[in-house]
Every structure is written in C-alpha cells, then in structure tokens.
Structure 1
Amino acid sequence: MRRLHLPTSVSPALDVVVLTLLYVLDLLISWDPATSPPGVGTYAVPLLGMAVYLPLLWRRQHPLLMLLLTVSASVVFAILMPPTVLMLGAFLGLFSVARHCRLRPSYTGFALAMVLVVVNVVAQLDYMPAGEPGQIILVGGLLGTMMAIASFAAGRWARSAARQRLLTAQLAAADERSRIARELHDVVAHAVSLMVLQAAGAEKMLDSNPERARAALGSVNQLGTQAITELRRMLGLLVPAGPSEPADSLMPAEAAPPRRLVDVGGLVEELRETGREVLLEVVGDPVPLEAGVDFSAYRIAQEALTNAAKYADAIRPVMVQITWQQDEVRLSVRSQGAGPATPQTLSTGHGLLGMQERARAASGSLAAGPTPDGGFLVSAAFPTAAPTNTGTADRHSRFRRLHLGRA
C-alpha cells in the first residue's frame, strides 16, 4: 500500500480533543438511553463506545487497518447495545483511507463503510414499528450512503490537493536548484575557463618568452580574484545572515553594480588577453534595457564568449555584434572553425541550456547552432525598455565609440 507521507500540524492533544467531540456528537445522534438493554448501566454504553474511536488515533499511520478495527468495533457494539450504531467514526476513518491510500485500498475502505451502513439499517428495522421498513431503508440507507460517498470524495480530493502541493514544492525546489546552478556556472565557469587557457599558454611560453608567460600568470591571478568576488556576492544573496552576523558579511567591501550589456567590452578585453582576436561591433544608438534583461544579455554574451574561447579555432577571430533598435536589441557571437579537442573537464554541461533559460526569462529569444565553416553562432534578441534620460544614452554612445575604435 502506498501512502503520502506529509507533515501534519495537528498535535496529538488536539487530535484527542477532536475525536472526543466527534464521539460525543455520535452518541447524541445514535444513542437513546431508553433503548439500552436491561441490566446495563447508563455509563456502560459511553465507556464501551470508546473502543470504536480508539483506533482512530492511528488513522494516519495505518488507515485501512484502523478502519477495519473501527467498523468491527461498531458492529460488535451494535450487537451488544442494540439499536445503537456509532457511524461518524467510521466515516472519519474512510476519509483517512481515501486521503492516505491509493485507489484500490480506498475502494476496500468504502466497502467496509457500506457494511456499517447496512448494519445500521438492519439494527433500526428490529426496533421500528411494523409497516415502516421502507421509510427506515430510505432514510437510514440513503443518508448513510450519501455520507460514505461524501467522506470518500473528500478524502480523494484532499489526497489530490496534497499531491499537487507536494509537486508544486518539488518543482519550486527544482527551479531553485537550476537557478543556483546557472548562477554558479555564470560566475565561475567563465573565469575558470579563461584561467585554464591562460595557464596553458603560460606553460608553453615559460622558456621561450618568460615576459608573456608572466603576464599570462598575472591575468590568471586577476581572473581568480574576479571569480572569488563574484562568488562572494552570489553567496551573500543565497545564504541568509545569522542573528549576530551583519547582513553584508559575505559581500565584498565594495559591491560592484550588476553586470550590463554595456560591460561586454570588458569580456572582450579578457578574451583578447588570452591571445584571441575578438572583433566587437555596435550598430545603432543604444537604448535602455530593463535591469533583468540587461543582466541576462550580459550573461549570454559571457557564456557565448567562454564557449568560443574553449572550442573555436584560436587563429580565426571571434565576432561580436550588438545591434540596437527602437524596440529590441540583438546580440550575436560568431566563432569561426573548430579548435582542437577540448578536455571534458572544461565543460559544465549547463552553457547552452542556461542561455536558453535566461533568454526565456527575459522575454527574449535565442538561437544557437553550428555554422557551415565549422564554427558556432549564438544569436539572441531582447525587448528594450522605454527611454529614460539623455545621460544614459550619452554613456551608451561613449561605449559604442570606444569599443568600435578598439576593434
């Protein structure tokens, strides 16, 4: 039998109180002291009836067994204390079976509850005047059947709702894990990939050109520092501070502003320092982007350049183009030819998927695939925001002129 194991906020004390109130209500509905068998004390019926409700304390742990014990105790009680039949406890047990068990055991629980409905009708027939059996069957049988159906349906609905909440929580956890993995990839993979390439180049030039090897090692140190700074910033967002820990204890002393598309020039310079030729072209007059779109566009450019550094032909240039239009901005990163086989350790397996997820989250689009010359093309488009002020436009224009000159 397969059940849902979900945490419950109902304490044992509250559970006892609820069952006690239900038992009192059941006695008020079902028990008439005037019909008690001769020689049976007034308090004997309530005391014996407690055996019917006692198994309900374990209705969440063993629902079907609990319902079987409850129905059996109710039948025995009806034989000993006719015509009293305690039924509300069995309906609560049926609800628990329908909620915690799969469909087939739930049908078994419904059949057990219907046995008690039949026992109730038979018990009432023996104590009713002649000529009224049809009324007893209609009222008692129909009402009992309706309550059994309602308990069964409510339990199945509660099970479906619990499974839906559990599925929603699992999806939310999966999305959070994916987001964290994507952030880790964006923060670390770019810097580490360039560090590996720089270190490999320094090793090759160590004897022939010590100065360039020393410069490459300096770049490794700079890239490592940048990666640590970015990682500390991300951890500061993910890890809550303790009660005695300042909120910015994991943040660097001077937190840098979020990365933007205008910072792509820095990525180009980093790649050029590894010896790669990179051509940057900006077309059109830059327009403002929403913060989330701006950050996503930067990360996509970062990942595309990282892949170009790892997989493209090192001799042929990497071409980066940013095309500004009034309603959208287009980004393309094209590498030409395939480089030597890259060790599997340099691949994280999240690059292309992460770019696609970022583009979707920013209400943009992304296409990525090989080119006829053996290279690779990443092309993305993002919506632009409404214009803000001339100061921002001037800064974008300076960025355009500066990096067009460097290319």
Structure 2
Amino acid sequence: MGPTVREPEPDQSATARPGGPGYEWPRPFQQLRTVFRGHTYRQDVLLGLAVLLLGLSPRSGTGLDLSYLTPLFVVSSTVQALALVWRRKAPFTIYCVVLASCTVQWAAGESSGSNLSLMICVYTVTRYRSVRALRAAVGAAAPSLLVFVFRVAQVQHQILAGLLFLACAVAASVALGLVATERHAQFEALAERAAHAEIEREQRARMAVLAERARFSREMHDIVGHSLAVITGLADGGVRQVEANPERGREVFGLIGETSRQALSDLRRTLGALRERPLEEDATGVAAESLAPQPGVADIEELIERTRSAGPQVSYRMSGESPELPHSLQLAMYRIVQESLTNSLKHAGPDTSVQVAVEVAGDSLLVTVADTGSRAHHVPPSSAGSPGQGLAGVRERAALAGGRAEAGPNARGGWTVTARFPLNPPEEDRELR
C-alpha cells in the first residue's frame, strides 16, 4: 500500500467573500479605510471631489471636445459638488444651495454629472432633519424639476420618461434616508439597552454585595454578641465565686475558656466563607472546621447549656411533630433563640428565668423566648432604652426565612420574643431558598 498523500488545505482567504469573515483587504485599502473611518468631514470632502470629477469629466461621444465647459457650467458644477462638504452641518441650507445651482444650470439648457449632488442632499435632509423639512425640500424641488424636464435637451422629447426618472430618483433618495434613520435609531436603542443592562448588572452586583455584607454582619453580631454576653455573666459571677467558693470559681473560668473557644470556632467558620481555602488545609483541620455545617435546631440545647452556665435558669420545651426543616429555617431559629438569650442576659441579668419553646401547630412553627426580667432590681423593658440592632436582626432573619417576628414586654415584667414561620411556604419562596 503506497504512502498517503495529504491534500493541501484550501486557502480560506482566497475563497472568502470581500467584506465577509476571513477576508483581508489589501494593505493600501486598509490604510485608506483607517484614514477615513470615523471622520465624516474627510468622507464628505472625498465625496465632493468625486462628484466634481464626475461633473467635469468629458461627455461620452465627444472625445476631447471641451467646448461644453462654459463658465456657467464649471461654476455651477463646482458649487454643486463642493457644497457637499458641509451637507451634514447644515443639511437644508446646503440642499437649497445645490437646488438653486442645479436650477440655474438647467435653465441654461445644460446638465452635468454633478447633478447627482441634489439626490445626495435629498438623502441628507431625510437622514438628519425632520419630516416637515423633507416635505419642504420636496415641495421646493418640484418647480426646478419641471425646468429640468422642459429645458434640458436630453429629456425634452421624453417628458413622461424624464418625470418618471426624476420621481424614482427622489423616491430612492428618500427611501435610503429613511432606512438609514431607522437603522441608526435601532443602533441607538440597542446601545441604550446595553447601557441599561450594564447599569442593572452593576446594581444587582452591588445589591448582592450589600446583601452578603448584611448576612455576615448578622452572623458576626449573633456570634460575638451572645458569646460576650455569656462571658460577661460568667466573669461577673466568677469574681464573687473566687473568694466564696474557689472550686466553683475555677469551673467558671473554665466555662469562660470553653465559651471563648466555641465563639472563635464559630468566627472561623463564618469568616472562612469569605475566602477560598486550598485543599492542603484539610490536613490541618482548619478547612474541615470552616466547612462544618451551620448550627440548627439540634444545637439549641447546647446553646441553652452555655447560657445556663452564665447564671440564668433556662428551660427548653419542644412540642408537636416537627417535620424535616430546611437548613435556612433551622439557622434562623437558632440565631433568633441565640439573640433572645443574649438580650435576656444583657438587660435582665444572670438572675432571670428564661423559657424557650418551639411549637409545631398545623402548618406553622412558633418559636417563643420569654424571660421574667431582673429579680434584683425590676426595670420595665419599655424604659430600658433603645433595643439596639438585635431585635431588628431578629425581625430581618425571620423575614428572610419566610416568617415574621415580634418582641415586647410581658406580664411578668420581662421581655418576650415570638417568631412564627410557615411550614408550607409559597412556591416562589421555596425557589428563593
């Protein structure tokens, strides 16, 4: 079997369509395109020179006979061509100048290729001016076109054909102007839509960043606030226990250390979500700790035990058949109980009694945290000053989980926080979770 001969691949540049993908213009054309692209004044100068050459070029069949180049012919043709240089700056004015020049030339029975500038001016008026200006331009051209039909020798014997030709030329110029205007409007609409989409994208990104910051702020507030409240309560009690009961004092300081380590672990887990950790950290255990699950309903008892160590008497009751709850709802319940216990420690002190209850009734779940206030010196909760950001965070957490939270004084002189969550949220809420 003979060796396989590989056929040469076809030259894509040779088969590509001019102006299409894969086609490269020759270098001189590329340089010329660079010079004129985006420079409308240069383009109009080039257009005017081209029309002037067309108007002054020898007529077919006359050879080198230049007798047609009369002063009137040369001046009118030059005015018609060079006026195109300013057609974009003053479309209607330039149109009137070109129309007058053409009319003078036609009245003398002459016609040149530079008459093309009149159709270019009709296009320009359509493109850059209003419909009212276009109507005025067409109306002003009607008498001049009649002069062309009855005075120019080439169409004197074909009046109907001449009128039809002129009507078609004007209609084509107007149509091209309208198409260009519509296309420009579409491009502007697309550019505006793209700008709006970019602004909306930036706003969504900014809102996402703000929402993420608010979420981490709530987590940090709950973790640090509760842990510091427990540590403060233990430290205050430990000072008294060191002299009265040294053994109990050592236990209190041990509890302070345990609470501090737990708070530090929670902070590491929360802050670890702000950055990407390499896989090698698994060996040290830091990455595994940062990826630990967020606290839920099962961790409420441990939370209550830590709070009891600071002094308050805390009871916990859970009633009803609790279905499997989503992680977001469990985290919200845990943080609400945590913030409520923190507020009880801060405002009622370590000698208060707190009742924590989680009840499932029908299609709703109720979380209640109520304390009895301070037994040493009773201060009505309503006069205790500003509630701070804790209760606002409780309401916000409940709302994000699809529920609502309320807080206020109770009949026993303490404070009650109640949060209610639907167990069957609407379909759109499930998708958001």
> Same fold by TM-score, threshold 0.5 exceeded?
yes
Distance in 1 between the 2:115 and 2:399 partners?
A: 67
What's the offset of the Cα at 1:293? 1.9
1:126 is matched with which residue?
117
How far did residue 173 of structure 1 move? 1.4
Question: Cα deviation per residue 1:183-213 (whole Å; 9 max; x = unaligned)?
Answer: 2233333222211222233234444443333
Q: Distance between the aligned counterparts of 2:304 and 2:411, measured in 1? A: 24
Contact 2:316 2:356 in 1 (8 A): yes
Q: Which amino acid aligns with 2:415?
A: F
State percent identity of aligned pairs. 29
After superposition, residues 46-65 of structure 1 pair within 5 angstroms as 47-53=31-37
Q: Which of the residues 281, 299, 307 maps onto 2:317?
A: 281
Matched, 1:322 2:358: yes
User: C-alpha offsets along residues 358-377 of structure 1, whole Å, 9 cap, x if unaligned?
Assistant: 32333222222344666322
Q: 2:419 aligns with which of 380, 388, 403?
A: 380
Asked whether the equivalents of residues 83 and 124 of structure 1 are also in contact (C-alpha less than 8 Å), the reply is no
139-148 or 243-252, larger mean C-alpha shift: 243-252
Tell me, yes or no, if structure 1 residue 115 matches structure 2 residue 88: yes
In the other structure, the counterpart of 1:185 is: 221
Q: Residue 353 in 1 paired to residue 392 in 2? A: yes
- For residue 124 of structure 1, report the CA deviation from its aligned partner: 8.2
Alpha-carbon distance change, 337 to 72 in structure 1, aligned in 2, over 3 angstroms = farther
Question: Residue type of the partner of 2:305?
Answer: E
Deviations along 1:201-257, one digit per CA (max 9) or x if unpaired, are 323444444333322211110101111222333344443222654498524579866
- C-alpha change, 1:146 and 1:311, in structure 2 (3 Å) is same
* Residue 348 to residue 170, structure 1, CA distance change in 2 (3 Å): farther
Q: CA deviation at 1:116?
A: 7.3
Q: CA deviation at 1:320?
A: 1.7
- Seen in structure 2, the aligned counterparts of structure 1 residues 340 and 135 have a Cα distance that, compared at 3 Å, is same
> 2:257 is matched with which residue: 221, 227, 252?
221
- Give, in whole Å, the separation in 2 of the partners of 1:188 and 1:234: 11
Q: TM-score, normalised by structure 1?
A: 0.61
Q: Secondary structure at the match of 2:36?
A: helix
TM-score between the two structures when normalised by the length of structure 2: 0.57
Give runs of aligned pairs for residues 25-40 of structure 1, distance below 5 A: none
SS across alignment from 1:355: helix
Q: For 1:141 and 1:255, locate their aligned partners in 2 and report how far apart those are by CA, in whole Å.
A: 64
What corresponds to 1:334 in structure 2? 370
- 1:79 is matched by which residue type in structure 2? G
Give the alignment partner of residue 175 of structure 1, picking from 211, 221, 242. 211
Gap runs ≥5 in structure 1: 1-20, 26-42, 56-69, 85-113, 342-346, 386-407
Would the aligned equivalents of 1:335 and 1:377 in 2 still touch at CA under 8 Å?
Answer: yes
Q: Is 1:197–2:236 an aligned residue pair? A: no
Tell me, in whole angstroms, the C-alpha distance in 2 between the residues paired with 1:115 and 1:275. 86
Distance of 2:328 and 2:283 partners within structure 1: 23
CA pair 73-306 structure 1, distance change in 2 beyond 3 A? farther
Deviation, structure 1 residue 321:
1.9
Aligned partner letter, 2:34: M
How far, CA to CA, are the matches of 1:81 and 1:215 in structure 2?
A: 101
Deviations 1:230-288 (Å, cap 9, x if unpaired)? 23333444432226544985245798664332432222222221111223333445444
**Highest CA radius of gyration, 1 or 2?**
2
Corresponding residue for residue 74 of structure 1: 43
Instruction: Output aligned runs, 1:210-249, within 5 Å.
Output: 210-242=246-278, 244-246=280-282, 249=285
Look up the match of 1:93: none
Distance, in Å, in 2 between the alignment partners of 1:247 and 1:155 is 52
Following the alignment from structure 1 to structure 2, what is the Cα–Cα distance between the partners of residues 83 and 217? 101
Question: Letter of the aligned partner of 1:296 in structure 2?
Answer: A
Secondary structure at the counterpart of residue 171 of structure 1: helix
Alignment coverage as a number of residue pairs:
300
RMSD in angstroms over aligned alpha carbons?
4.2
Give the AA of the match of 2:47. A
Amino acid across the alignment from 1:356: R
Unaligned 5+ residue runs, structure 2?
A: 1-15, 21-26, 54-86, 99-113, 120-144, 149-165, 381-385, 425-433
| 1:165 aligned partner, one-letter code | R
Residue of structure 2 in register with 1:312 after alignment: 348
| Secondary structure class of the residue paired with 2:286 | coil
Letter of the structure 1 residue corresponding to residue 253 of structure 2: L
Q: Secondary structure at the match of 1:146?
A: helix
Cα deviation, residue 142, structure 1? 1.4
The 1-side partners of 2:41 and 2:237 are apart by 82
Aligned structure 1 segments of 4 or more residues deviating by more than 6 angstroms: 43-46, 119-124, 253-256, 338-341
